[in-house]
Amino acid sequence: MAVFDVTIFLSTFMTLFVIADPLGNLPVFIALTARNTNKERNRAAWQSVLTSAIVLAIFAVFGKYILDLLGITTAAMQISGGILLLLVALQLMQDESNPQEEEAKASSVNIALVPMGIPLLAGPGAIVAIMIKVEESGDTLGGILAIIAAFILLHIIEWVVLRFASPMHRLLGEGGTVFLTRIAGMLLAAISVQLIIAGAVSVWPGAA
């Protein structure tokens, strides 16, 4: 048995990278941290990645037992994650409110936890994917090491991508950020509806 399973490594990394989509989530991160300072934005970047890492690690190790214990299905996770994303999308597409109100909201809600950490970087798809990959590894040393390596590489890339949010924000300016916020809201709405549809199809296959 190989000490390191390259096939599982590539499969796990590519699956998680496509689902987590750090590049696609960068506009959302910029929009949600538009009123933050560079220091606050950088802190939100590593906190988002840390939140994702903790959640995925917990479900990789205990996921099957947690879902079985609570009686939660994959479809339920997809639908709930989709609804949460839709609420965020609607907020992004609304008109600008009073700046003081926005600052109060930003100070009371840590976007690094929700929605960046959960469900964007560590959403239902990523959680289910890593649980499946752990099962596919067959508890072999090579498979487990490959999954750990893919897990670490994914979160390093996520941090690097979000870390460049500040230079991009300076480049876009206020007008560009507002435009990006609206586009991000539309994209998030589409993603959320797709998640809800996927969950509904799992519950009612005939609806496909």
- Residue 138, pLDDT > 50, answer yes
What pLDDT, on a 0 to 100 scale, did the predictor assign at position 47?
95
What pLDDT, on a 0 to 100 scale, did the predictor assign at position 43?
92
- As a whole number of angstroms, the distance between CA 41 and CA 77 comes to 29
In terms of Cα–Cα distance, which of 39, 188, 171 is closest to 115?
188
- As a whole number of angstroms, the distance between CA 157 and CA 60 comes to 19
- Residue 144, pLDDT > 90, answer yes
Between 102 and 76, residue with greater pLDDT: 76
Can you tell me the mean pLDDT for 154-180?
83
Report pLDDT digits (tens) over 23-50. Answer: 878 888 988 888 888 888 999 999 999 9
Instruction: Answer for the pair 5, 143: CB distance below 8 angstroms, yes or no.
Output: yes
Instruction: Answer for the pair 15, 147: CB distance below 8 angstroms, yes or no.
Output: no
CB atoms within 10 A of CB 174: 9
pTM for the model stands at 0.73
What pLDDT, on a 0 to 100 scale, did the predictor assign at position 50?
97
- Residue 155, pLDDT > 90, answer yes
Instruction: Answer for the pair 49, 162: CB distance below 8 angstroms, yes or no.
Output: yes
Average pLDDT score over the chain: 84
Residue 19, token pair as written in the block? 């689902």
Which CA distances in Å does 150 have to 2, 7, 35, 144, 172?
16, 11, 33, 10, 32
Report pLDDT digits (tens) over 81-111. Answer: 788 878 878 877 875 544 444 444 444 358 9
Instruction: Answer for the pair 189, 90: CB distance below 8 angstroms, yes or no.
Output: yes
- As a whole number of angstroms, the distance between CA 197 and CA 78 comes to 9
State the pLDDT confidence band at 136, using cuts at 50, 70 and 90: confident
Report pLDDT digits (tens) over 5-28. Answer: 999 999 899 989 988 888 878 888
